[in-house]
Amino acid sequence: METGTVFLQLPENEARRALECDGGNRSVDGDATRNPFAGLVSHLRASWLSGKTRPIEYRVAQLEALGCFLDEKKQQILEATASDLGKAPFEAELSEIFLCKNELHETLNNLSHWMKDKHVDRTLAMQLDSAFIRKDPYGVVLIIAPWNYPIQLFLVPLIGAIAAGNCVIVKPSEVSKKTERLVAEALPSYLDKDCFAVVTGGVQETTRLLENKFDYIFFTGSSPVGRIIMTAAAKHLTPVTLELGGKNPCYVSDTCDVTNVARRVAWGRFFNAGQTCIAPDYLLCTIEMQEKLLPALREAINDFYGPNPRESPDFGRIVNDKQFQRVQRLLGSGCVAIGGQTDEAERYIAPTVLVDVQPSDPVMQEEIFGPILPIVVISNMDEAIDFINSRERPLAVYAFSSSDKVVNQVLERTSSGGFCGNDTLMHVTLTSLPFGGIGNSGLGLHHGKFSFDTFSHHRGCLKRGMGWESLNAPRYPPYCKKKFGVIQATSKVSRKNDCTLL
């Protein structure tokens, strides 16, 4: 997703050079005499190696402290997000607090079960042994968060990282300045400072931070910067989760409830002033459906935000001047059918619908990340699916139709990080569903148990007794066909319709 931080403003070739600078021999966590974060990373690693974060009691205590942070700092969170993004209290409480508490409660309710060793099937030769999967913490984790949901998008992965027993450094976005300050000043007082830290800053700080060896990196941001993060991680062979973004298509069939479609699409597109990585980025429909949708979308926008959305307390603002200018330029694509008004002083862009949009127009070349909804006309569902599949795989695909067959066709014949039929955004509110991208929209999963699994190394373990050595004799030299036959009979995994006679 587009984030617009100073780090992201650096040209990619320069960022790569920055990530490659200061090379040479250094300790596992960087040279403490040259890297300002090496000491912090080393301190957290020492805490992790001590085993402090492993007991369930410790993990639960830290997770409950996050709940206290959300409860006690609720008003400050609402004020900070209003200052940074013009977020309505309703939207901020829903997206930044309520959904985080759902994740937190899901984790606390299930953590003891998730942590248990998972015993697995054994062959006949190993019936006396213990084979299981142990969920080990990775170690020291780095979470780099964006500005558009500045609490949720660091806190949800942090919940998973703590639940899995890791030490964590959180890097909030400096673009959402008030929220960054709140997180930096308040969060450390709730968590164990020996195991958790907040680092602030822009390109220089992030670049130096990434020089250190982490055991896992979780990044939310744009695809170009995701590649830079992955390059930095590769130097230490550090695994990553990349939550990126892209252009999420929304197909609307000719058979649907137009009013309901318009309300659900308008809500998903204009929530947080369109600055949502899973927002429907463009509509695909026939010309006949477009003529029906336009008045329905106009009515939905009026119902939600009134005749002048600029005066609505429920409609947000673009985060900064750079992002405002970028989104404003996209208004030149196609023709404005609804909205189009702007106010640079307020960083206000009205909820806007564009028609006569061509696939080659600028608005179709990048993730919009603002309150603009282009409509691309297609002839039928097959053409819509071909259009979707001709582009990079998105973070989400949406399909609206009164026919389950149509919705299922779109689901089965496309590929995306997630899918939602006959609604927008709502699939990410379920802690039971994984959230993540595919291809250009990201890699890796989180939410609920998927967060715990992401930050856990699934360690295959086998424990055998010291006795019964005669059972091992067939595997030892000198070899012969008879010995192999014994091994085959006692260790073979057979197809269910296969019969092995012992």
Active-site positions read 243, 277
Residue (of 200, 158, 152) closest to 180 by Cα position: 200
Q: What is the rounded CA–CA span in Å between residue 68 and residue 71?
A: 5
Strand positions, DSSP E, 255-407? 282-285, 335-338, 342-343, 348-349, 352-355, 372-377, 396-400
Residue (of 86, 3, 6) closest to 369 by Cα position: 3
Q: What is the rounded CA–CA span in Å between residue 245 and residue 219?
A: 12
For 219-239, give one letter per residue: b (16+ CB within 10 A) or e. Answer: bbbbbebbbbbeebbeebebb
* Count of CB atoms situated within 10 Å of the CB of 281: 28
Q: What is the rounded CA–CA span in Å between residue 115 and residue 136?
A: 9
The reply to whether omega before 478 is within 30° of 0 (cis) is yes
What is the dihedral sign for C-alpha 131, 445, 239, 168?
Answer: negative
Beta-sheet pairing, 196-198 with 130-137: unpaired
Do the beta carbons of residue 103 and residue 203 sit within 8 Å? no
What is the dihedral sign for C-alpha 123, 126, 129, 135?
Answer: negative
Q: What is the rounded CA–CA span in Å between residue 163 and residue 236?
A: 24
Give me the long-range contacts of 28-36 (CB less than 8 A, separation at least 24). 28/213, 29/212, 29/213, 30/211, 30/212, 30/213, 35/208, 35/211, 35/212, 36/205, 36/208
HSE toward the beta carbon, residue 282, CA cutoff 13 A = 30
Beta-sheet pairing, 342-343 with 372-377: unpaired
Beta-sheet pairing, 216-220 with 240-243: parallel
User: Two tokens at 226?
Assistant: 């995701």
Residue (of 2, 132, 148) closest to 86 by Cα position: 148
